[in-house]
Amino acid sequence: MQIIQDNVLCTYYLNHKELKKVFTSEEHPFQIRRYSRNEVVFEEGEDIDGFYIQVSGRTKITTSVITGKALLLRFCSAISFMGDIELVQKVPIQSHVTAVEDTDFIFIDQTYIYNELMKDIAFLQQLLAHATYKLQTCTTASRINLLASVETRFASYLCTVRNGVSFGKEIQTANSMEIASLIGTTTRHLNRIMEKLVFDKVIEKNKKEIIVIEWTKIEELSGGLRYE
């Protein structure tokens, strides 16, 4: 992680439509923190040092389960708020966050949050809007998780990473073990599912890559479920 001292960039980020109504004052005691691809942003269980607003790039939110595997919760892109649960509930970091591409955050120190922003109507409203939105999608995801098959979850995974891939960049992971773990299954079973999709000519696998031939079919299989 590097801290970027660039007031122009910071002002530019703060000028985003969702943020400018919140951060009106000229002076901002904020930092830009930049994480490179694959860098860990938050480690589950540790204490958080402040509030993070993701303003660029793409991150992967996972959580570990009893088995020690990482289960995918969702992908995030700008604008996302991170640290809300932790700071409001005063609990340790709830999930593991990794940058899947170079990602910038605006970092706001927790004392500034507690002393200033937690008394700021605009900020509270914005935070609340984000929290309830997350809650809404989480509730939906929860019930879908209960009912969706591995095939559906795999298709959702593909759709989600597809949209996140900027033009020209390859898909982040064609690694069976990681995908299996993320969508909560075993490599063995994921293999079976992919085998079937290859047989049906919906996807192709050439070493180290998954190539989707029929996106429409994959979208259909995903049933609208997205990890974001």
Partner DNA sequence: TAATGAAAAGGACAAATGTCCCAAAAGGAG
Partner DNA sequence: CTCCTTTTGGGACATTTGTCCTTTTCATTA
Residue with tokens 């409001």: 88
Which CB, 77 or 186, lies closer to DNA?
Answer: 186
CA distance 155 to 67: 24
Q: Which of 3, 4, 40, 118 binds a copy of itself (CB under 8 A)?
A: 118
Decide: is 121 part of the binding site for a copy of itself (CB under 8 A).
yes
- The mark string for 173-202 relative to a copy of itself (x by CB under 8 A, - otherwise) is -----------x------------------
Helix (H, G, I), strand (E, B) or coil at 68: coil
CA distance 199 to 146: 27
Cβ atoms within 10 Å, residue 65:
11
Please list the alpha-helical segments (H only) found in 15-69: 17-20
- Name residues contacting a copy of itself, limited to 133-162 (CB under 8 A): 133-136, 138-139, 141-143, 145-147
Taking alpha carbons only, the member of 222, 184, 177 closest to residue 71 is: 184
Smallest distance from DNA to CB 45, Å: 24
Interacting residues toward DNA by CB under 7 A:
149-151, 174-177, 184-189, 191-195, 205, 207-208
Which CB, 9 or 223, lies closer to DNA?
Answer: 223
State the DSSP code for 117: G
The secondary structure element, H or E, covering residue 3 is: strand 2-4
Decide: is 213 part of the binding site for a copy of itself (CB under 8 A).
no
Taking alpha carbons only, the member of 88, 138, 79, 135 closest to residue 113 is: 88
Q: Which of 7, 24, 36, 125 binds a copy of itself (CB under 8 A)?
A: 125
Which residues contact a copy of itself (rule: CB under 8 A)? 63, 65, 71, 73, 84-85, 88-89, 91, 94-95, 118-119, 121, 124-125, 127-129, 131-136, 138-139, 141-143, 145-147, 184
